[in-house]
Amino acid sequence: MTTVPDASLLSSLRQLVGTPHVLVPDDGNDCERHLLDWRKRYRGQALAIVKPANAHEVVEVVKLCTQHGISIVPQGGNTSLVGGSVPDSSGQQIVLSLTRMNRVLQVDSANLSMTVEAGCLLADVQAAADREGLLFPLRLASEGTCTIGGNLATNAGGTQVLRYGTARELCLGLEAVTAQGEIWNGLKALRKDNSGYALRDLLIGSEGTLGIITAATLRLYPKPRGTCTALIHCPSLLAATRLLERSRRHLDAGLTAFEVMAAFPLALLRRHEPEAARMLGDTRAPWTVLLEHSSSDSEDHARERLESLLTEAHEQRECVDAVIAANGPQQQAMWLVRESIPLAERTEGLMVKHDIGVPTSSISDFVERTEAAILQRWPEARIVCFGHLADGNLHYNVQPPAEYAHGDALQTFEREVNTVVFDMVDAYQGTISAEHGIGLLRREELARRKPAAALTMMRSIKQALDPHGILNPGRTVPN
């Protein structure tokens, strides 16, 4: 690849998508939100931010960039937590922003499906389904900012995975532009299609390194008639795990969310986001569960089943106290507790963050052993643990002691804490990334911990689909 593009590239891009939709940082345009990641950890430079209006313009952008030896960073809402959607520091990459491609193309109520362009905000996809009396159940704290193309490119998880699965399970078909500048139209709205390799599944979770997702056909569900939400205070994480088992037996598919939060992140919430913490009351229980039960029956019936579950759980000492939301605003307030923890963390200060997954049955042991190992070495470190207990995914974050909070000391602390956490993850046959992806942040860690055969297969797929390395180079796939 060449490193200095011909000036004709920018001219050609402007002719293709329109001058207002080619933003060049050096021309005084406000490009900051495209160049800085959500965590403010990675800041890149770009030759330009290009905003095509449709898949055919994406094709031509890819062809132009290939001709000029310029690589492309596909970008949706730029909410990646692993540095997967901002350019490198060279200033010689194109950021391909898909935010203009934001139309809902079709809602098929009879088939329980909808087709949307990749730049649709997740919140807008949810709203379009809701207008038809249907449900698109992917739910994330960033849903007002993230786009469906990014959700699929990272195989987003969220709070409803327990019942509905990850973004992969919610996608029936894709349209994508290849590294060769061709449109692959796989927007079939089928539940069954056993006609060769699952190209859709290959692109989902590939973080823009194998193709550029331009549209998707999504799976919809009937809206529940009754939904009950409760905050449940538990004496231990093991008790919360047992409560999860009991909830599955009592509620079956009606158990749509089971989130767990340790006492310390809730203390941060009280300190920095007191309005969000108001539903917590005065409890200082070691662990708090946010449980959601959705039912095809009435609200009253859903509440009765939840009350019966909690009565039994209290008798078995799996919970010490619980509050069931009395109405919609209280349900929203309970969810605000869970969704505001990252904001409270951010205000508190730097955290070494982990998005790990281990079998649910092992979570209590994992947390106990990992905390002991960290505090034995760094007694002043503080652990912010919360996440999706039902699918084994915890956000296990560690705040460094003051003497490790800056410069080289912070980098050393992060590296050594990562080793402790990820070694423990390996001991429990877990994963270093359950839902955030690999991006740049975890690429080298993946290279150290992924089996050699798996790395060979990943590199072979990348080479086959993107032989010139034009799509999001340096991300996800280890060198």
226-342 CATH: 3.30.70.2190
Residues 6 or more apart in contact with residue 378 via CB below 8 angstroms: 400, 401, 404, 413, 417
pLDDT on residue 206: 97
Q: What kind of fold does domain 104-222 have according to CATH? A: 3.30.465
* Residues 336/159, Cβ–Cβ less than 8 Å: no
pLDDT on residue 172: 98
Residue ranges of the chain assigned to CATH 3.30.70.2740: 352-435
Q: Spell out the SS3 assignment of 342-370.
A: HHHHHHHCCCECCEEECCHHHHHHHHHHH
pLDDT on residue 80: 93
Q: Which two tokens stand for residue 217?
A: 């056909």
Determine phi and psi for 352, rounding to 5 degrees: -90, 115
pLDDT on residue 6: 66
Mean pLDDT per segment of 10 residues, for the chain of length 479 residues? 65 96 84 90 94 98 96 96 94 96 97 98 97 96 94 95 96 98 96 93 97 98 93 97 96 94 97 95 92 86 91 94 94 96 93 96 97 97 96 96 94 97 98 95 95 96 96 92
3-state secondary structure of 234: strand
pLDDT on residue 2: 41
- Give domain 352-435's CATH architecture: 2-Layer Sandwich (3.30)
Residue ranges of the chain assigned to CATH 3.30.43.10: 8-97
Task: Give the residue from 93, 28, 390, 58 showing the smallest Cα distance to 245.
Answer: 390
pLDDT on residue 436: 94
pLDDT on residue 4: 47
Q: What count of other Cβ atoms lies within 10 Å of the Cβ of residue 447?
A: 15
| Cα separation of the two ends of the chain | 17
- Give domain 8-97's CATH architecture: 2-Layer Sandwich (3.30)
